Amino acid sequence: MVERHQKQIRLHGFNNLTKTLSFNIYDICYARSPAHREEYLAYIDEEYNADRLTNILTNVADIIGANILNVARQDYDPQGASVTILVSEEPVLSEEKISTSTSARPGPYPEDVVAHLDKSHLTVHTYPESHPDNGISTFRADIDVSTCGRISPLKALNYLIHSLESDIVIMDYRVRGFTRDVKGKKHFIDHKINSIQNFLSPETKRNYSMMDVNVYQENIFHTKMMLKDFDLDNYLFGLGKNDYFEKDLKQIEAQLRKEMKEIYYGRNTGSL
């Protein structure tokens, strides 16, 4: 993956292109008892509360080069959170940072949210849920990063994937509208892309299986990612591997992999 600098288009007025990156990110675990499932939901609600999600979106705004103007956030009962951040695309930055913040390239890693940019927005909503019978619990975060003009949401791609400990990631990227150059010619996209995978780090590509469905003539790009390998001990909530018989561990791992595959392929696969 090599970033290629393109000659900038000389525009007549403002860049009117809207670039939207949408995620469904899933984190999956096994919680054996009803009490463990309640504890898992409480853990998720605390781990992804409005304060932490605000921090994540604040970092996203910084990564893509947007200037934050205002923040509003809310935690919900019994669970969930939302945050709104109003930002301006024209940031208070040095010329050097402005020049580096407008390109679509892989961004940094990290160590219910909504964020609005000036004529653009960021949104995140969280959805924890549990299977009533087999102990599988799934946390989903829906994220939209939509920008208008030069700044690119693709720069926040790697940061968001790794901020939310993703087992499954389903992404859509679309460029809408057009902008006009000084000669009057319309431009329906202002950067080169043939896959969202172009903007993923090598480490991310090594860790995930991936599949693309793209509609190039419409500037629509769709990528699915599923974690290849995992340590079962990291997926057991309330108990550890030493608390189960070996045959139970094999059954649990099979259930977790089944859940991941069904989400990845978007269809039920039947009983184990």
Contact by Cβ (8 Å): 17, 189: yes
Residue 61 lies in a domain: yes
- Which tokens hold the place of 216? 């190039």
Residue 33 lies in a domain: yes
Given 82, 130, 146, 148, which residue is catalytic? 148
Residue 272 lies in a domain: no
Residue 6 lies in a domain: no
Residue 40 lies in a domain: yes
Cis peptide before 34 (omega within 30 of 0): no
Question: Which residue type occupies 41?
Answer: L
Tell me the average pLDDT across 206-210: 95
Residue 241 lies in a domain: yes
- Which tokens hold the place of 214? 């793209």
Residue 39 lies in a domain: yes
Q: Mean pLDDT for the chain?
A: 81
Q: Show the domain range for 182.
A: 16-89+111-263
b/e sequence 52-64, b meaning 16+ C-beta within 10 Å: ebbebbbbbbbbb
pTM equals 0.80
CA-to-CA distance for 64 and 105, rounded, in angstroms? 10
**What is the percent of the chain with per-residue pLDDT over 90, rounded to a whole number?**
35
CA-to-CA distance for 170 and 161, rounded, in angstroms? 10
Q: Does an H or E element contain 96, and which?
A: helix 95-101
pLDDT score at 198: 93
Q: How many domains does the chain have?
A: 1
Tell me the average pLDDT across 233-242: 91
Catalytic residue check, 29: no
Catalytic residue check, 120: yes
Residue 29 lies in a domain: yes
Given 120, 130, 137, 163, which residue is catalytic? 120
Would you say how long the chain is, in residues? 272
Residue with tokens 């949210």: 113
- Which tokens hold the place of 231? 């340590």
Given 125, 131, 162, 222, which residue is catalytic? 125
CA-to-CA distance for 121 and 196, rounded, in angstroms? 20
Question: Which CATH number fits the domain that encloses residue 227?
Answer: 3.60.90.10
Contact by Cβ (8 Å): 88, 66: yes
Residue 228's pLDDT band (boundaries 50, 70, 90)?
Answer: very high
pLDDT (tens digit, 9 = 90+) per residue, 32-78? 888 888 888 888 888 888 899 889 988 988 888 877 777 778 787 77
